[in-house]
Amino acid sequence: MNTARHTILNTIRRSLAREKLDEVTHQQLLDRIAHPQTHTKPIFKETLVDKFLLQLEKAVGTIHQLTNIAEIPSAVTRFLQQNQFFNQVVMDSHLQSLNWPTDLEIAYRQALPDDKVSVTGAFAGVAETGSLVLLSSTESPTTLNFLPEAHIVILFTKDIVAHIEDVWPRLREMPTPRTVNFITGPSRTADIEQTLQLGAHGPKKLHVILVSETERS
């Protein structure tokens, strides 16, 4: 533990009049972390996929469904053409192994203010809210989620969970990421005359490519 953190935590302990924890209390805390209790969660009659699609559409996100991972490059190209973007994207390098067309200019790096379209993978989708869960890493910098005008997200149906609370147990099974972003639709604000404006603080377009194939390439 570094000195600054040690000093801060010791100050907190003194203010709480708490010394070193006894073994019973320490074990109770470990058990609570390992088996957290959850509050009552709403139920819905739709399947996870149908509920996610419904909520995503409510959030003004668009969707394209595929049954094969190999179709992802053509789905991305189609989106670029339909929305009149140049054939240039900045991309999560986890997706580098896909068979991308040779005429598509791809940069695997952090997003810059001039980038128009980014493509990333998703850790999970939340059916209850239509949200996407994105994790930052060296391969997928957080800037990809917020700087470009359009954000394309690759999500697998097997990664859709019912509720936000269902995301945390999955995260505990892996090394802790630096940042966890929950994104629900494109960026928006109604601060100006109560009129909805898209792209106020991030992408104007959020497009999800939903892949039902269970195995990634």
Average pLDDT of the chain is 89
Task: Show me where the domains of the chain are located.
Answer: 1-35, 44-211
The CATH number, out of the four listed (3.40.50.1370, 3.40.50.1860, 3.40.50.10420, 2.60.120.460), of the domain defined by the range 44-211: 3.40.50.10420
pLDDT band at 35 (very low <50, low <70, confident <90, very high): confident
Q: 126-160 pLDDT, tens per residue?
A: 999 999 999 999 999 999 999 999 999 999 999 99
**Predicted model pTM:** 0.82
What pLDDT does residue 199 have? 47
Q: How much is the average pLDDT of 67-82? A: 96
What pLDDT does residue 217 have? 43
The proportion of the chain whose per-residue pLDDT surpasses 90, expressed as a percent, equals 64
Tokens for 89? 């994207």
Pairing of strands 131-135, 124-126: antiparallel
Q: 2-21 pLDDT, tens per residue?
A: 788 888 888 888 888 777 78
Tokens for 190? 């109604």
